[in-house]
Amino acid sequence: MEIIEKAPAKLNLFLDTPFRHPDGLPEWQMVMTSIDLADYVKVKPRSADQQILVDSDLGFLPHDQRNLAFQAARILQKQFSVAQGVEITIYKKIPVAAGMGGGSADAAAVLRALNCVWNLKLSLAELAKIGLRIDSDVPFCIYSQTAAVSGKGEIISPLPVLPPFWIILAKPRASVSTAGILKKIPYAELPHADFKKMLIAVANQNIDLMLPAMTNVLETVTAQNVPEILRLKQKMAAFGAQAAQMTGSGPTVFGICEHYSRAQHVYNSLKGFCDTVHLVRPCQLHSDCSHRN
């Protein structure tokens, strides 16, 4: 059985970190959503041997154990003593090192797909627990639905479907190392925001409450090296976005508009200033084996 699995990108509508754990990892307070900009991951079992082969249409991506999709297959294969190998082909649409969780999305897609192909019968919660060993964003990407995320990324509380809106994405040319940004977080100086307020806004599907409650405390940290982030935010607001902020550790900036005509205006206007611009919407993934081909 061969499966093609959708791997949606994520956005951080809210990102704060109240403290660092003794192991150096941040405690997160996040609201995340998946968007309809997605990689596609083809998973084809190999009965000949136990090799894991990764290929992608992006030449510069690593295809060995440095690829998060490779790590996902290896962990499942080892933990469940699977005798088969697998060929993984990644069709990349999510910009790399952009704050949109592309590698984590691919790893989660491999975990979901191999759970079906190898008939492991693991629940999404079990897959999320395995995924945490790969990256803090993988548990969220297993579900790929709007959710509150806390702990080190392992506590996922699903939230209702977001009220309808459009998202304009603009990625500066610079790529950002998440690990580098996380090391630099100035905990004593962070302008913490009200997580509860954001959760109530999203739980009530109230966009008027949600937009002013959005935040990303990493924005000022990343913007020290990539000032274009602040310029793009200003441009988004000037062109009519109702809110604009960075996602993850950046450098991608996203704007929100309730109405398509306004979103299209922001999108078209930004194309003159930025190479990588997308117009997308939030999406929800159906994650059980019965939805597979």
Site string for ligand ATP, 49-68 (x = CB under 6 A): ------------xx---xxx
Alpha-carbon gap, residue 6 to 106, rounded angstroms: 8
Would you list which residues are annotated within the binding site for ATP? Answer: 95-105
Alpha-carbon gap, residue 70 to 63, rounded angstroms: 7
Residues 81-100 that bind ligand ATP (CB under 6 A): 90, 96-100
Residues 195-234 that bind ligand ATP (CB under 6 A): none
Residue 103 binding ligand ATP, by CB under 6 A: yes
C-alpha pair distances (Å), 87 with each of 5, 41, 63, 231, 265: 13, 10, 11, 42, 42
Closest separation in Å from C-beta 282 to ligand ATP: 17
Catalytic residue chosen out of the listed positions 6, 10, 171, 233: 10
Residues 169-198 that bind ligand ATP (CB under 6 A): 178
Catalytic residue chosen out of the listed positions 6, 39, 137, 171: 137
Q: Residue 10 catalytic?
A: yes
Closest separation in Å from C-beta 206 to ligand ATP: 28
Q: Contacts by 236-244 with C-beta closer than 8 Å and gap 24+?
A: 236/168, 236/170, 236/266, 236/270, 239/265, 239/266, 239/269, 239/270, 240/265, 240/266, 241/168, 241/266, 242/211, 243/211, 243/212, 243/214
Closest CA to 8 of 250, 287, 285, 245: 285
| DSSP-derived secondary structure letter, 17 | -
Closest separation in Å from C-beta 91 to ligand ATP: 11
Closest separation in Å from C-beta 136 to ligand ATP: 8
Residues 106-125 that bind ligand ATP (CB under 6 A): 106
* Between 248 and 255, CB nearer to ligand ATP: 248
Q: Which residues are catalytic?
A: 10, 137
